Structure 1
Amino acid sequence: MKQIIQDLKKGDTILEEVPVPSVKAGAVLIKTTRTLVSLGTERMLVEFGKANFIQKAKQQPDKVKMVLDKVKTDGLKPTLDSVFNKLNQPLPLGYCNVGEVAAVGKGVTEFAIGDRVASNGNHAEYVLVPKNLVAKIPDGVTDEEAAFTVIGSIGLQGIRLLNPTFGETIVVVGLGLIGLVTAELLKANGCKVIGFDYDAEKVAIANAKGITAINPAEGTDQVKFVESFTNGTGADGVIITASNKSNEIISQSAKMCRKRGRVVLVGVIGLDISRADFYEKEISFQVSCSYGPGRYDEQYEQKGNDYPIGFVRWTEKRNFEAILNALSNGSLDVKPLITERISLKDYNTIYGDMGNSKSIASILVYDQTETPVTTVKVTEKSFKGQKGVVGIIGAGNFTSSTLMPQLKKLNANVKYIASSGGLSSTTMAKRYGVANSTSDYQEILKDSETDLVMITTKHNSHAKFVIETLKAGKSVFVEKPLALNQDELTEIIEVYNKSNVSLSVGFNRRFAPLAQQMKKLLGNDNTPKNIIATMNAGYIPKEVWVHDMEVGGGRIIGEACHYIDLCTYFADSKVVAVCMNAMGTNPDESTDNASILLKYENGTNAVVNYFANGSKGYSKERLEVYSQERTLIMDNWRRLKTYGFKGGNSKSKQDKGHHNQFEALINQQKNGGAPIIPFDVIVNTTKASFAAIESLKEGKWIEI
């Protein structure tokens, strides 16, 4: 299928050929018929993509500070690699989609194949959208009209926050697409509406709809006009739908208001607010968030958990339905707003010169004649007779920033990259010369030439993919963790013991050059050691999926397992008991500030400090090993200091062991031999991470 994307690095807007998304539980696959181009929002994204690095930095000063902090701790090259990796990830454009339901995922009962629906899907021939972001289109509403559903909901949410009453005077600043829809909805709500815009055509459309619309360029003072219109009282409220960096708009909006008036921001403007403008009349100000309650809430959007109507009357989905109802009963007429209708293949007619476009609403028309496919051939390659042929399931940040660059250096034979949406895998396949991009991971498992499957998906899918891959008779590398609970681990052990392939987990720290140097200095006499491993992991907001115990497993199982394995590597022994203490009062929730005590068979004692409340200016990782009146201190995989040894101090560029790990893995797959990490060690580390959580809940040592 074809999809419009924005290349943030080169600035190009591209019609890309990608696989059709795979159907997920709780989601709807939609065959697109029409999409609406949101010129204001999409113009900003396109212009950002075309901007040079300095211009991009000026637009995102908060990100610049993050980059500078990372340079201080990790060094210049790793930081630049991270920045360029982000810029190499394309942005799918569009969020106003209409089409027919082509398939429904598990748990979706309110939609059936063939239903006409509106959603916030992208500009693509097929889109996969969670059910709470999809609404049925009433009979009598055309696809073109329904394409305004999401744009209309943005305006409607601004109105709901303003809470206008019948007869109030409301000003709409900016009569672009959202502004015109907002003004008409306000009029339908029984309000007297004043609109301001510097575009004569938009002002004319508003006037034709019975809105008092003014072009300030013709000499009208906006504030004085409102005062005159309201007999000196001032407007009851102002909704700003303009896009302008000037601070004048917010100041004028306050001055237009009556005492205790309301101002709601839907657009994007300068916000250097004068206290005097708002103080004297006690004006309230609020920013509207997109389509309504539920936006950016993973429980609502991704997991399909609706808010009870008795407590949240208007969610984003119910706003969608309200707009569609307004289109159906004629209280909202969007047909006069349509400036042009363009075939998808001619998309550049719109995107080629968006900065000078005078269009109000541009409709993309989809004429799909090709049979949709789940696998796209990107690069012509032969893998006949080769060993170590790789298929990758997962095309997220780890694959993009770490896995693929290392596999490229190793000239690995990568035949597939799979992603559920198809876009990220296609982008990566093109960038690294991979043969195929697919949205159906089963293609990898069925392929007879692929003998090594690398899994880099979200944590809750790891065990499932590992088990399926082992049953398919292929070796597995899975980025940590191996499993999220004992039941998953038990099934993996059972399946692995019946297989004759290898299984590896991404515990890369043990392969880092400094770790291997430390191990060599310590020797192999199995003497008990004291180990202190500290990870200054950094804060991650609670709503991020890593904290979800069912999806990410929390940061101890999901991330601290790295350091349990590293301690095991230096101990050269297995963990026999674990005790963990953590900040926080609820042991059933994810914790990211904890100290884990590890007791080993050979008497080694280890402490893993996993903290999220430290300074970003401090080293992210630090390791101390004490043994036989000697001490090793490793700082952030860049420096090693030795005490009691003859030499051994060293400095290097940051290297966390990924290259050595993948080199050993590929060589083992090609040439045979023992797994790069013994399976029983992987199982022991996984059990130790589970025991840490159990220890916190029960308040005692847990034996393994």
Structure 2
Amino acid sequence: MKTVLLSPRTGSITVGEIPAPGAAAGTVVIRNDYSLISAGTERATVSTGAQSLVGKARQRPEQVRQVLDTLKQTGLVDTYRMVQDRLDRPMQLGYSCAGTVLETGEGVNDIRPGMRVAAAGARYASHAEIVAVPRNLVVPVPEGVDTQWAAFATVGAVALQGIHQADAVPGSRIAVIGLGLVGQITLHLLRAYGYDALGIDPNPAMVALADSAGLVAYPRAADDLSRVLSRRWGGAGADAVLITAATTSSDPVEFAGSLARDRATVVVVGDVHVAPPRSSYYGKELTTRYARSYGPGRYDPRFEEGGQPYPEGYVPWTERRNLAEVLRLLATGALDFTALKPRVFPIEEAADAYEALKPSDTGRSVALLLRYPGTAQLAPPPAPPTGPRTWTVPSSTLRIAAIGAGNFATKMLFPQLKRESGVEFSWVASGRGLSAAHQGRRWGFRTIAENTETGLASGDADCVMVLSRHDSHGRYAAQVLRGGAALYCEKPLGLTEAELEDLADAWLASGAPAMAGFNRRFAPAMRVLRAALPAGAPLQITYRVFAGRLPPGHWYFDPLQGGRLLGEVCHFIDAVGFLIPGRPVDVRATGVDVRDPGAAQSVTLQLTYDDASTASIVYGGLTPSGAPKELLEVATDGLAARIDDFRSLTVWNGGRPATTKYRGAPKGHAAQMRALVRLVRNRTVDEESAREADFASALWSSLVACRAAQAVTADRAVEAAPSTPALARALGCPAPGTAGATAVPKPSSGSSSAATI
């Protein structure tokens, strides 16, 4: 399908081809009729892309701070590569569209295929022939409303949220500063609701556009503006002032203070510099408020992506209701956008549309729409396999496919695999198609799969890497094994014991090699430390992790993704399990900030093992940037050791301490990819490599993480033994319900390793 792409490096606009997105759970797949170009937000994004690196840095100081933090942690070379990769990665634009529903995902019950809908949301409601949008960002279009005007609903919701924030009662006097698209729509809404409203803008063309719609507007530079306003409102000031301008100047904020009456409200809707002068804001005791985008729910992944509703009694006007209200007003005729005189461009001429955003001698258009042919279709579902597929060792070239192509895959995994001889990248798929299209071409994948199901059905892979979002790992991993391919699955292997049980069943039945993305097993420091540990002696391990605070809106906060305990802490559970010969008996876990395992950012775990070993994991998810991330310490009979952020290993063993330093702080990614290639090719490996690649122990680590999540809620220790049949068989434990089922036997020497290889 066609989509509009922005180059962050140059700011150029192109129309590219990417796979159409599928209907994930809770989403609605829409074939667009129209999408609206935001004259403010998108013009600023394109303008930033066209600037030099210095100019980009000035525009985005927060990203500069992130780069500096990365520089401290990973060094100059890796940071440079990261920045270059970001600049080369195309972006989809757009956040307001309307069209027809093609299909819906699981859990969407109020929207059906064939319905006309409007949709909102950056990264979702893009300028593309087909989009997949979370259900809470989609609303039906009423009868009688053309989708051309429904495509304005998102920007209308931005304007409406500004009005809500003003808390203005009927009959209030309201001034709107800035008459771009949001300002124009704000005036239209205020008129529809019967407010005494007027607009002000320094651009005479914007004032004329408002005048042509019968709205009240004045030029900012008018000499008699103060006298006109005084005469209109009888010498009184505005009850509320809405700032819908976009400028680095604080002039709109200062001007708002002069327009407002005593104890009025100033609402900042647009992107302006807020530096209110004390004389007017303190003197009048003005209230300043911000309007956050489309309304309550915006930037909350639980609402937008998870579909979690807000209680209407406390949050009556969510962003979804704001969207619906704009469409209702259009349907009743109280709102009419025809006076905005939008210019309409076919999707193929998107570059010309963005040129029209730039100021020119003839002015610039305030409203621009992209029109779509309405013929794009989703890929047909793949034909079911004619028979069961069984694992066979590749005879020559090793074909590797990937589900997901995000930052981690392209930075840590694909480069290592490219260095291996006889490896070919076959197909790649991703959730929304853009990353698969871009990274697939960049890394030389032969095929950009329309979706994951199409790729898996093709059978064109000896090994499939599951690198997608956490909530899909267990499902995709089991599909890969049942499809007759070897598996590499990034952590976590699953978010629930049911997913782990299904995965264990698929692994046992397939006979195919499998590896989990627990790379710290493969780190040089871990291998050396394990070899130095005395045989048979119980270990005391403490593992401290300063993981750092995640930015608001990070996908880890999506409740569907399991949170940091299941998604991250499993890494460190696996690392201590790699060092301890025994098997876990029970786990106690405490959420330091909250007792919700999905929401906890900081957790403390206490694990006990059947060989009398213990491990304590302290995971700090609220620590500041710049702190060293990981410190692992081991105490045992006659030996103590410390791994400091994988940069060094120090061992105390009776004499002087022996310290080994590791350049680049390797955490095992390169060694793991080499081991994966050997594993899938059925090459002979040494016993240590076999233990590192052990999939059964990876299932153990994932099961313990699930039990740790239970322990956070229960506030007590939880047993680690498997309670389902396939997991019990995979882990060599007694079947549930039989004598000794709660006991966890020690593995015989090398048994789990040999079973995996």
- Please give the TM-score of this superposition, normalised by the length of structure 1: 0.92
Tell me the equivalent position of 1:188: 192
Q: Which residue is 2:389 aligned to?
A: none
Residue identity matched to 1:477: Y
Distance 2:116 2:240 in 1: 36
Per-residue CA deviations over 1:25-79 (Å, capped at 9, x if unaligned) read 3322111111221111110111122222222221222332233233333333333
Which whole-Å CA distance do the structure 1 matches of 2:135 and 2:557 have between them? 23
The aligned residue for residue 427 of structure 1 is 438
2:386 corresponds to which residue?
Answer: none
Structure 1 SS opposite 2:631: strand
Instruction: Provide the TM-score with structure 2 as the length reference.
Output: 0.86
Q: Is the 8 A contact 2:513 2:679 kept in 1?
A: no
1:417 aligns with 2:446: no
Distance across 2 between alignment mates of 1:154 and 1:701: 48
1:337 corresponds, among 336, 340, 353, to 340
Aligned partner of 2:415 in structure 1 is 405
Which residue pairs with 1:106 in the alignment?
A: 106
Residue from 388, 394, 397 that aligns with 2:404: 394
Q: Are residues 224 and 518 of structure 1, via their aligned partners in 2, closer, same or farther at CA, if it must alter by over 3 Å?
A: farther
**Partners of 2:50 and 2:716 in 1: how far apart?**
55
CA displacement 1:681-703 (0-9 Å, x = unmatched): 22322233234334442523635
Q: What is the RMSD of the two structures over their aligned residues, measured on CA atoms?
A: 2.7
2:694 pairs with 1:685: no
Task: Report deviation, 1:287.
Answer: 0.9
Q: Distance in 1 between matches of 2:543 and 2:376?
A: 56
Q: Are 2:24 and 1:24 aligned?
A: yes
**CA–CA separation in structure 2 for the residues paired with 1:197 and 1:689:** 58
The answer as to whether partners of 1:226 and 1:235 remain within 8 angstroms in 2 is no
Counterpart amino acid of residue 166 in structure 2: L
Q: 1:693 to 1:353 in 2, by over 3 A?
A: same
Range with greater deviation from structure 2 (264-273 or 313-322): 313-322
Match of 2:351 among 327, 331, 348: 348
For residues 209 and 596 of structure 1, what CA distance do their matches in structure 2 show? 64
Question: Map of 1:309-388 to 2, 5 A cutoff?
Answer: 309-352=312-355, 354-356=357-359, 358-369=364-375, 372-373=378-379, 386-388=396-398
1:536 and 2:536 matched: no
| Further displaced range: 626-635 or 91-100 | 626-635
Following the alignment from structure 1 to structure 2, what is the Cα–Cα distance between the partners of residues 363 and 545? 30
1:109 counterpart SS class: coil
Q: Which residue of 2 aligns with 1:198?
A: 202
- Any conservation in 1 of the 2:459–2:483 contact (CA below 8 Å)? no
List per-residue Cα deviations over 1:474-497 (Å, max 9, x = no partner). Answer: 111111111223232223222221
State the SS of the aligned residue for 1:246.
Answer: coil
State whether structure 2 residue 13 is matched by structure 1 residue 33.
no
Partner AA of 1:568 in structure 2: G
* Counterpart contact for 2:549–2:625, Cα < 8 Å: no
Q: What count of residue pairs does the alignment treat as equivalent?
A: 694
AA matched with 2:302: Q
- Corresponding residue number in structure 2 for 1:151: 155
The match for 1:265 is 268
Whether contact under 8 Å (1:374, 1:439) holds in the other structure is no
Find the counterpart in structure 1 of residue 310 from structure 2: 307
1:226 alignment partner in structure 2: 229
Q: Which moved more, 1:249-258 or 1:106-115?
A: 106-115
- Counterpart of 1:139 in 2: which secondary structure? coil
Cα offset for 1:623?
1.8
What SS does structure 2 have at the residue aligned with 1:445? helix
User: Which of 285, 290, 293 is the equivalent residue of 1:290?
Assistant: 293
Q: Is the 8 A contact 1:175 1:197 kept in 2?
A: yes
Cα displacement (A) at 1:630: 3.7
Q: 141-150 or 690-699: which moved more? A: 690-699
The percentage of counterpart residues that share the same residue type is 32
Check 1:174–1:542 CA distance in 2 against 1; reply closer, same or farther (3 A cut): closer
CA distance in 2, matches of 1:401, 1:183: 48
Alignment partners' CA distance in 2, 1:61 and 1:71 = 15
Which amino acid is 2:69 matched to? Answer: D
> Distance in 1 between the 2:581 and 2:202 partners?
73
- The C-alpha deviation readout for 1:490-534, integer Å capped at 9, x for no partner, is 2322222121101211110111223233334x1674443333221
Q: Name 1:123's counterpart in structure 2.
A: 127
**1:455, CA displacement in angstroms?**
0.8
Deviation per residue, 1:223-279 (Å, 9 max, x gap): 564344323211111111111110111011011101111111111111122233211
Shift of residue 661, structure 1, vs aligned partner? 0.6
**SS in structure 2 at match of 1:236:** strand
Provide closer, same or farther for how the CA distance between residues 58 and 110 of structure 1 changes in structure 2, counting only shifts above 3 A.
same
Distance 1:268 1:178 in 2: 12
Whole-angstrom distance in 2 between the partners of 1:189 and 1:489? 55
- Return 5+ residue gaps in structure 2 as ranges: 382-393, 722-757
Q: Are the aligned partners of 1:18 and 1:422 in contact in 2 as well (CA < 8 Å)?
A: yes
Q: Which residue of 1 aligns with 2:631?
A: 622
Structure 1 match to 2:60: 60
Give the stretch that moved more between structures: 119-128 or 609-618: 609-618
Alpha-carbon displacement from aligned partner over 1:446-476 (angstroms, at most 9, x marks no partner)? 2233111111222222211121111111111
Distance 1:338 1:641 in 2: 71
Per the alignment, in what secondary structure is the counterpart of residue 142 of structure 2?
A: coil
Q: Secondary structure at the match of 1:494?
A: helix
What is the match of residue 751 of structure 2? none
Per the alignment, residue 378 of structure 1 pairs with none
Q: Is the contact between residue 546 and residue 554 of structure 1 (CA under 8 Å) also seen in structure 2?
A: yes
* Structure 2 letter corresponding to 1:234: G
| 1:699 equivalent among 708, 712, 716 | 716
The 1:235–1:698 alpha-carbon spacing in structure 2 relative to 1, beyond 3 Å, is closer
1:561 matched to 2:570? The reply is yes
Worse-matched range after superposition: 122-131 or 70-79 = 70-79
Match of 1:379?
Answer: none
Query: What code does the residue aligned with 1:622 have?
Result: L
Residue 294 of structure 2 aligns to a residue in which SS?
coil
1:166 match: secondary structure? coil
Give 1:361's aligned amino acid. A
Letter in 2 for 1:617: G
CA distance in 1, matches of 2:471, 2:417: 25
Q: What secondary structure is seen at the aligned counterpart in 2 of 1:182?
A: helix
Name the structure 1 match of 2:44.
Answer: 44
Taking the aligned partners of 1:335 and 1:408, their CA distance within structure 2 comes to 55
Q: Distance in 2 between matches of 1:552 and 1:485?
A: 11
Aligned to 2:673: 662
Whole-angstrom distance in 1 between the partners of 2:315 and 2:718: 45
Which stretch shifts more, 402-411 or 316-325?
402-411
2:650–2:659 Cα contact (<8 Å) kept:
yes
Aligned AA (2:407):
N
Match of 2:602 among 593, 603, 623: 593
Match of 1:605 in 2: 614
Q: Name the amino acid aligned to 1:490.
A: E
Within the candidate set 244, 249, 264, 1:246 is matched to: 249
What stretches of structure 1 of length at least 5 have no aligned partner? 376-383
Q: Secondary structure at the match of 1:48?
A: helix
Classify the secondary structure of the residue corresponding to 1:614.
Answer: coil
How much does 1:333 deviate? Answer: 2.0
Report the residue type matching 1:620 in the other structure.
K
**1: CA distance between counterparts of 2:104 and 2:613?**
54
Moved more, 468-477 or 133-142: 133-142
1:515 to 522, 526, 533: 526
Letter in 1 for 2:476: F
Q: Is the 8 A contact 2:405 2:430 kept in 1?
A: yes
Looking at structure 1, the residues matched to 404 and 475 of structure 2 have their Cα atoms a distance apart, in angstroms, of: 13
Per the TM alignment, residue 194 of structure 1 is displaced from its structure 2 partner at its CA by: 1.9
Contact between 1:526 and 1:571, CA under 8 Å: does it hold in 2? no
Task: Note closer, same or farther for the CA distance 1:306–1:700 as it changes in structure 2 (3 Å cut).
Answer: closer
Whole-Å Cα distance in 1 between the matches of residues 40 and 56 of structure 2?
A: 18
Change (3 A) 1:581 1:36: closer
